[in-house]
Amino acid sequence: MKKPVFTGSAVAIITPFFADGSVNYDELGRIIDSQIAHGTDAVVICGTTGESSTLNDAEHIECIRYTVRRVAGRVPVIAGTGSNDTAYAVALSRQAEAAGADALLLVTPYYNKTSQAGLVAHFSAIANAVQLPCILYNVPSRTGCNLAPATVAELAKLPNINAVKEASGNIAQVTEIAALCGDDINLYSGNDDQIVPILSLGGKGVISVLANVAPKMAHDICAKWFAGDTAGSLALQLAALPLCRALFADVNPIPVKWAMNELGWAAGSCRLPLVAPSAAVQQQLKAALDSADVCRAE
């Protein structure tokens, strides 16, 4: 059995920006502290929600370094270091390891995509270059590349391929991963509306967009499940659905960043090409925020 990097809810944290587009590290620190205070079990920095694709190399590494320093061992820090360029992902992963990250989140290659054999070679090269636990990230709606269950099973033979964040939305595929891999891989939901279904398949938690605005809710869905209160966990999952839908009513992280600003955090705007949500999405978000147990800036 591979020890999970975390159990529960890991926030896929936003990267706050000043008006000039530079990283607002002080606000990132405030958000990190609030997340931990409200029960978040791990912090994922420089993931999709953190706009990693528009962070330059210096910003990417400094965000990881800053998060490691600010978290100060209170919860695990997971650094997004995936790329469609294997050599670049190896270099970034080594830098994240040197910066003190506890684990890596590695998205499947995008645009050039590759075959399943290519995925094995790609992830093996990264895993063999570092000592940290590696969490594979499958999100074919963004990458155009699906990580097949048999490929996960092959990669799970490597000792530091620890987990998979499954965001395909295909529960049948997650079921097959669980059947093929058993205790050789840890499963995390990559979709906030599928936390309980994946927990029911032996999942260890969620890497969550929802947690940015409702950290206690995301944490409690998992905590209740693991405490044996499956009915309570399900009730919270169902209660979260309107907010989950609103947070994905436009391209992530457009809605969640707007919501963070609405809650009083200095999240700033998304970097282009991402633009503000429509008036209709804003109204949907306001209604969902008003009806949920959200975390307002203090």
- The active-site residue, picked from 165, 216, 224, 257, is 165
By the 10 Å C-beta count (0-12 exposed, 13-18 middle, 19+ buried), 280 is classed as: exposed
Catalytic residue status for 165:
yes
Whether 106 contacts 89, CB under 8 Å: yes
CA angle 209/212/218 to nearest 5° reads 70
Burial 3-36 (b: 16+ CB within 10 A, else e): ebbbbbbbbbbbbbbeeeeebbbebbbbbbebbb
- The active-site residue, picked from 88, 111, 113, 137, is 137
Q: Tokens representing 32?
A: 């990190």
Q: How many Å apart are CA 77 and CA 164, to the nearest integer?
A: 16
Catalytic residue status for 224:
no
Give the other-Cβ count within 10 Å of 125's Cβ. Answer: 14
Q: How many Å apart are CA 101 and CA 80, to the nearest integer?
A: 10
Residues labelled catalytic: 137, 165
